[in-house]
Amino acid sequence: MCQYKFKQSWRWFGPDDVVSLSDVRQAGATNVVHALHHIPNGEVWPVEEIKERQKLIDQAGLHWLVVESVPVHENIKLRKGNYKQLIKNYQETIRNLAAAGIHNITYNFMPVLDWTRTDLSYQLPHRGKALRFHLVAYHAFLLYELELPGTGLTEDQKTVALRFYEQLDEASKTELTNTILAGLPGSEERWDIDSFRKKLWEYENTGPDELRANLIAFLKEIVPVVEDCGSTLSLHPDDPPFALFNLPRVASTLEDYQKLIEAVPSPVNGMCFCSGSLGARKDNDLEAIIRLLGKHIHFVHLRSVQLEDDGSFYEANHLEGSNSMYHLVKLFVELMQKHQISIPMRPDHGHQLLDDLKKKTNPGYSGIGRLKGLAELRGLEYGLSH
């Protein structure tokens, strides 16, 4: 039996989450992944508010183990306006979390949008529902709702997108827009078409090299504070891990992470390994990422996606899909024994199933689908570790 195992965790969105802390505990998790979503992006998280939420979690018999996420303000990503003060605020939040004993901090550096899907109710053969990213729907939204040039799109792709768009009624167009822009769970910003266009223009002269340089500058200012606090910093991959809306991406591949770790070589400067985000790109070798960056992986999201021929994908069952969850978990079991660590892991996303089909749940974060995923992942790890 292996001594070091995943720390079973569950993302919880706060007192208004339809999945209660009691539900979380019944599902088999012992740790909570959480953030203070009510505090505006860029403001300091006060120690008092952190401890108040921590007390609520403790009273439920759980432990607030990981912060997901401390959001990075757009002005920091662009290094404009009041970004220096915003970085000081970020440093103070890290210190305040450490004062409460919370040391595992996750963040992302995706411009404007956090994570993107085009369908929140994709019906599966068993009548459950999943999240989906449909490339044609995205192209249609880009060209005919945002009215932006489809840089890099072929004429055939534009024609297919137009045919798709012409078949949508007004309600369907509104639903597509809301799905992409209204904000998914964990997102800190909400946009309409006009405000989204304006925000995109701010990135007009920012390519991958510029955004990466801004991220490295941010890390050089943040990592020393993280080190002093005895904490870790985990960068979540871009989701999906390829360019959208002509915006740059800097956390989509093994090479992206290697550049960041080489630029700021600290053991606390690491990654959140999200198998679903990274797995949505066919040329990502997930097993190689674990082997090469294992000691820098401070947090793990496990889910699987089913890739489609045109680059679209949908959320698959946790043990199925286009990547081998067996091999990924096997590598993590070996990694944890080698480095004598137990890494926090949460089942990421889940199908909407059974009674949850009758409820208004956070997309991807219903209770029963994640319970199923956690049970499968716990069983897989148990078998591999024995």
Q: Which of 34, 73, 139, 236 is catalytic?
A: 236
Q: Are 250 and 256 in contact (CB under 8 A)?
A: yes
Q: Which of 107, 122, 203, 274 is catalytic?
A: 274
Tokens found for residue 285? 């070798």
| Whole-angstrom distance, CA of residue 120 vs CA of residue 365 | 11
Tokens found for residue 48? 């008092």
| Whole-angstrom distance, CA of residue 81 vs CA of residue 386 | 54
348 catalytic residue (yes or no): yes
Q: Which of 239, 256, 348, 356 is catalytic?
A: 348
| Whole-angstrom distance, CA of residue 80 vs CA of residue 367 | 40
Query: Going edge to edge, which strands form the sheet with 129-133?
Result: 119-123, 129-133, 313-315, 305-307
| Whole-angstrom distance, CA of residue 244 vs CA of residue 33 | 27
| Whole-angstrom distance, CA of residue 186 vs CA of residue 180 | 14
| Whole-angstrom distance, CA of residue 97 vs CA of residue 123 | 40
| Whole-angstrom distance, CA of residue 88 vs CA of residue 43 | 10
122 forms beta bridges with 130
339 catalytic residue (yes or no): no
- Residue indicated by tokens 């949008």: 113
- Residue indicated by tokens 């024994």: 337
349 catalytic residue (yes or no): yes
Tokens found for residue 220? 């050089």
Between CA 34 and CA 129, with CA 182 as vertex, the angle to 5 degrees is: 75
Task: Give the burial class of 338: count Cβ atoms within 10 A of its Cβ; 0-12 exposed, 13-18 middle, 19 or more buried.
Answer: exposed
301 catalytic residue (yes or no): yes
Give Cα 240 distance to the centre of its chain: 9
Ranges of H-type helices in 34-82: 47-59, 74-78
103 catalytic residue (yes or no): no
Q: Which of 73, 318, 349, 351 is catalytic?
A: 349
Q: Which of 301, 318, 351, 356 is catalytic?
A: 301
235 forms beta bridges with 107, 271
Length of the chain: 386
- Residue indicated by tokens 């992409």: 180
Q: How many Cβ atoms from other residues are within 10 Å of residue 344's Cβ?
A: 21
Could you give the residue numbers annotated as active site? 236, 274, 301, 348-349, 365
